[in-house]
Structure formats: C-alpha cells, structure tokens
C-alpha cells in the first residue's frame, strides 16, 4: 500500500489550483488524474473579477492576462420581443482565454511529480484503525492518505464517499466552439453578447480580431453525450439557431469542427448546498464535485478557484504548527488531527457564497427550461428581480488572502 499525506483527486481547474494553493502555503500534495495528459475540459473560459482575485493570490494572474481577451460588459438581446440591454462592466476585470492556458499555467507552477496521470480512482474506503481514507485505483493500486480532497467534478467518487446525493441534470445542453474569420469578424463591441429566443440562447465573445468563441444552449437531445460526433454537434447547434439572424447561422456554419464540445448541464440543487455535509473525517470535496452549476453566470471555474484559495488558507491556519525547537530552529509541523476543523472553517466560509451563485444560476436556467409556462416564468422573473436585481453582484466577492 502506498502512503501519501494529502491526495487530491482530479487534475482540472479546482484540483490543480488547490495543489498550487497548498504548495504556496508549504503543504505538499499529490494530484491523481484519470486522463493521460492535462485535460482542456472545454475550449474557452471566461474568468470574472472574483476569479482574477483568486488567480492573483495563486500568483498566476500575471501569466494569464497577456494571453486573455478583455470583455467590457454584457449585451443581452431577446429576439422574442425585440428588447435589448447593455450592462457595461469596464470597471470589472472580465477576460476570456483558452482553457488549456489556465490548466497548463497552474500545472507548470507545481513541483515536479505532483500530478500523476492515468490514475482513475474507482473507490474510496476508510482505514478502520486510523480512520484515514484509502484510495483504490482501477489498476489495483491502493493509496492511504492522511487527507483527501475530491476535485473530481460533477460525478465525483469522493462526493459518493462523503455521502452526497447524486447531482441532477437539467433538460438543457450546450454546444460550444470557435469560428475563425480570416479577414476579421467585424464585431466592434468587445462585449459578451447573449441572444435569446424561446429556450435557445446564443452567447458570443470576440477573441482578438479574427476569432469568435460562441455557445448555443438548447433543450438536450440526449443524456449520453458520448454518442455525439462533431458533425452532430454542429448540426444540433445549426438546428437550434435556424430562426436566428443570418450572421449567427453563418458563425456556426463556418466553425472549426475540431473545436466543438457538447455538455449536458448538471447541478447540485441550491437547497442541498445548505443541508448536505461536504466532508467526512479527513475527506472533503471542492469545485464542481461540491457545487456543480450550469454556466449561466459563468462562475463555476471562478468558484473553483475561490475554493482552492479558501481551503488552502483554512488548512494552513488550522493544521500548520510553527514553533522554535532545539537550538532556536524554526520548526513547522502538521497536525493532521486538525483537518476536520480546517474543513469546518472552509465550509462555513464558502456555504453562502456558493448557495447564492447556485440559486441565481438555477433560476436563470429554469426560466429557459420552462419558457412556455407563464406561471414559472412569472415566478422566476419575480425572484430574479427580488433577489438579484444588482447587476454583476456575483463578481464583487473577494476570497481574501491566501
């Protein structure tokens, strides 16, 4: 049996950011990732002001700004009634960039051998004598760790171990991709444009002079995304936008077929975020494993980055014991028995933040899902106005110092 101090399952945004945050605080960890290489997990990501605050704390924001494209606000258009609204955000830091830049940048800052690829975790059990978690890999390897952090996404094995209910799925899906315009896209506004018609929404962000990132959210045609080939994704997106203006149809028609991704949308119900227990002994979940939400606010990745900073801070504060020993040598020891206290602190700090993000997201998605029901639309709009009237309320959050 292998032994490790801190094991993180999942080498996505949350797992790598958490490993980096712990490293910055002097805590060594190992990341187990099932893929054979770093995974892009999508094509482009937008990080909002709150996410940049977390990236600053992780010490990587300055490496990502040069490869990112600023977005100066949101332009919402409803084709059903011809209404339009612009929400300028020039005072906020909203930037979009290729996801792989984020993943690679986080990975490069980690000590060598932190990430172990090809490690698919199949089960987690508890060691009866020590109560420490025991991690079982598909290839038969068994690892005993003192602390286990589950950053393994929506269908998390660690969430199962901790006792969380399975995530739910919306009847909505998203196709996203990139379109290159060799002679320029001619989009003058550097805005995130969101155009709705019925229960279809098209998002569009210009990235430089030639490239446009787009997504189309629609009713999901299948629960099994593995059955979709690239062409199916393109046809799905084209079918969904057939009543949209020709520039939207052409954008999908001319897309780079290799850039296409399809995702069914999943969520952990906001009310569960208040009642469920996200840790068990020395095991905890973070990122999408804890609070997967639809990308309606574009906050899932930023929330995962916030989690990483707050979790590492709580662990360092509660678990690292510093003192002078022997010949006045500065000693740092780790009190593994304090992990549960650190997790309690982390969950206390994060609970209401992810609840509000999830609630706002859930209401927005419910509005699209039930576009034809007047009663549900009325309720959704009522709650959006009553609770989330302030534009960009979600980007004000500051996860604090690492």
Of 7, 8, 11, 240, the one binding ligand FAD (CB under 6 A) is 11
Residue 171 touching ligand FAD (CB under 6 A): no
Residue 10 touching ligand FAD (CB under 6 A): yes
Pick between residue 153 and residue 338 the one whose CB is nearest to ligand FAD: 153
- Structure tokens that stand for 357 in this block: 């993000």
Residue 73 touching ligand FAD (CB under 6 A): no
Distance in Å, CB of 136 to ligand FAD, minimum: 10
Of 7, 8, 9, 143, the one binding ligand FAD (CB under 6 A) is 9
Check: CB of residue 147 under 8 Å from CB of residue 19.
no
Pick between residue 306 and residue 345 the one whose CB is nearest to ligand FAD: 306
* Window 104 to 133, contacts with ligand FAD (CB under 6 A): 119-121
Pick between residue 40 and residue 339 the one whose CB is nearest to ligand FAD: 40
Pick between residue 32 and residue 202 the one whose CB is nearest to ligand FAD: 32
Distance in Å, CB of 163 to ligand FAD, minimum: 17
* Window 12 to 31, contacts with ligand FAD (CB under 6 A): 12-15
* Window 298 to 327, contacts with ligand FAD (CB under 6 A): 298-302, 304
- Secondary structure of residue 162 in the 3-state scheme: helix
Distance in Å, CB of 141 to ligand FAD, minimum: 12
Pick between residue 138 and residue 247 the one whose CB is nearest to ligand FAD: 138
Number of residues that bind ligand FAD (CB under 6 A): 36
Pick between residue 35 and residue 171 the one whose CB is nearest to ligand FAD: 35
Check: CB of residue 161 under 8 Å from CB of residue 136.
no
Which one of the spans 39-47, 189-197, 309-317, 353-361 is the region binding ligand FAD (CB under 6 A)? 39-47
User: What secondary structure letter does DSSP report for 29?
Assistant: -
Distance CA 361, CA 383 (A): 12
Site string for ligand FAD, 76-105 (x = CB under 6 A): ------------------------------
Of 95, 98, 176, 353, the one binding ligand FAD (CB under 6 A) is 176
3-state secondary structure the chain: CEEEEEEEECCCHHHHHHHHHHHHCCCCCEEECCCCCCCCCCCEEEECHHHHHHHHHHCCHHHHHHHCEECCEEEEEECCCCEEEEEECCCCCCEEEEHHHHHHHHHHCCCCCCEECCCCEEEEEECCCCCCEEEEECCCCEEEEEEEEECCCCCCHHHHHHCCCCCEEEEEEEEEEEEECCCCCCCCCCCEEEEEECCEEEEEEEECCCEEEEEEEEECCCCCHHHCCHHHHHHHHHHHCCCCCHHHHHHHHCCCHHHCEEEEEEECCHHHHHHCCCEECCEEECCHHHHCCCCCCCCHHHHHHHHHHHHHHHHHHHHEEEEEECCCEEEEEECHHHHHHHHHHHHHHHHHHHHHHHHHHHHHHHHHHCCCCHHHHHHHHHHHHHHCCCCCHHHHCCCCCC
Residue 392 touching ligand FAD (CB under 6 A): no
Distance in Å, CB of 320 to ligand FAD, minimum: 25
Which one of the spans 123-131, 148-156, 348-356, 381-389 is the region binding ligand FAD (CB under 6 A)? 148-156
User: What secondary structure letter does DSSP report for 24?
Assistant: H
Residue 203 touching ligand FAD (CB under 6 A): no
Residue 360 touching ligand FAD (CB under 6 A): no
Of 95, 98, 146, 157, the one binding ligand FAD (CB under 6 A) is 157
Residue 53 touching ligand FAD (CB under 6 A): no
Residue 150 touching ligand FAD (CB under 6 A): no
Pick between residue 7 and residue 314 the one whose CB is nearest to ligand FAD: 7
71: which residues sit within 8 A by CB, 6+ positions away? 46, 89, 94, 95, 96, 190, 191, 192, 205
Residue 141 touching ligand FAD (CB under 6 A): no
Residue 225 touching ligand FAD (CB under 6 A): no
Distance CA 354, CA 303 (A): 7
Binding site for ligand FAD (CB under 6 A): 9-15, 32-35, 39, 41-42, 45-47, 119-121, 151-153, 157, 174, 176, 263, 287-288, 295, 298-302, 304
């Amino acid at each position: 049996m292998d032994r490790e101090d801190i094991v993180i399952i999942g080498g996505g945004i949350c797992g790598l950011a958490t490993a980096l945050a712990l490293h910055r605080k002097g805590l060594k960890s190992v990341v187990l990732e099932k893929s054979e290489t770093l995974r892009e997990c999508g094509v482009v990501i937008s990080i909002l002001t709150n996410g940049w605050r977390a990236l600053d704390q992780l010490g990587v924001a300055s490496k990502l700004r040069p490869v990112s494209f600023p977005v100066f606000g949101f332009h919402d258009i409803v084709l059903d009634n011809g209404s339009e609204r612009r929400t300028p955000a020039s005072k906020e830091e909203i930037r979009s960039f290729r996801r792989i830049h984020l993943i690679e940048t986080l990975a490069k800052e980690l000590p060598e051998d932190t990430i172990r690829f090809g490690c698919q975790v199949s089960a987690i059990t508890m060691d009866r004598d020590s109560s420490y978690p025991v991690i079982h890999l598909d290839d038969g390897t068994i690892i005993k760790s003192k602390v286990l952090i589950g950053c393994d996404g929506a269908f998390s094995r660690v969430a199962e171990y901790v006792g969380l209910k399975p995530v739910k799925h919306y009847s909505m899906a998203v196709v996203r991709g990139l379109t290159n315009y060799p002679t320029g896209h001619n989009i003058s506004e550097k805005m995130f444009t969101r155009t709705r018609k019925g229960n279809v929404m098209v998002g569009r962000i210009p990235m430089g002079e030639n490239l446009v990132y787009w997504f189309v959210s629609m009713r999901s045609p299948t629960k099994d995304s593995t059955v979709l080939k690239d062409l199916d994704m393109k046809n799905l997106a084209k079918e969904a936008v057939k009543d949209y203006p020709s520039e939207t149809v052409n954008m999908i028609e001319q897309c780079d077929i290799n850039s296409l991704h399809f995702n069914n949308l999943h969520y952990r119900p906001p009310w569960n975020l208040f009642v469920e227990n996200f840790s068990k002994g020395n095991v905890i979940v973070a990122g999408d494993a804890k609070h997967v939400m639809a990308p309606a606010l574009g906050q899932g990745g930023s929330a995962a980055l916030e989690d990483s900073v707050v979790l590492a801070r709580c662990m360092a504060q509660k678990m690292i014991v510093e003192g002078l020993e022997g010949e006045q040598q500065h000693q740092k020891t780790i009190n593994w028995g304090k992990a549960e206290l650190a997790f309690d602190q982390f969950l206390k700090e994060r609970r209401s933040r992810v609840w509000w993000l999830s609630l706002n997201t859930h209401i927005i998605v419910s509005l699209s899902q039930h576009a034809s029901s007047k009663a549900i639309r009325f309720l959704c709009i009522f709650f959006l106005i009553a609770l989330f009237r302030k534009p960009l309320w979600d980007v004000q959050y500051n996860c604090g110092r690492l």
